[in-house]
Structure 1
Amino acid sequence: MARGINNHAFFVFKLLFCFFLLLRLIALPF
């Protein structure tokens, strides 16, 4: 169970990191 939660947390973290990177890329030229 803990392993599943940890895997889910890692997935969410990766998703947030990608979103943050995309936001930086979009906001960079302005």
Structure 2
Amino acid sequence: MAWNIAMTILGYQREEEPMPGALPVLQPAE
């Protein structure tokens, strides 16, 4: 599943700095 990979890569980056590109990817995943 692609979202699982994106959640792992963008997951730790999002905690440090919420990027606008990471939010739309993690929101639909949940």
TM range (shorter): 0.3 to 0.5
Q: Quick check: which has more Rg, 1 or 2?
A: 1
- Structure having the larger proportion of residues in helix: 1
TM-score between both structures, scaled by the size of structure 2? 0.32
Higher RCO (C-alpha 8 Å, min separation 6): 2
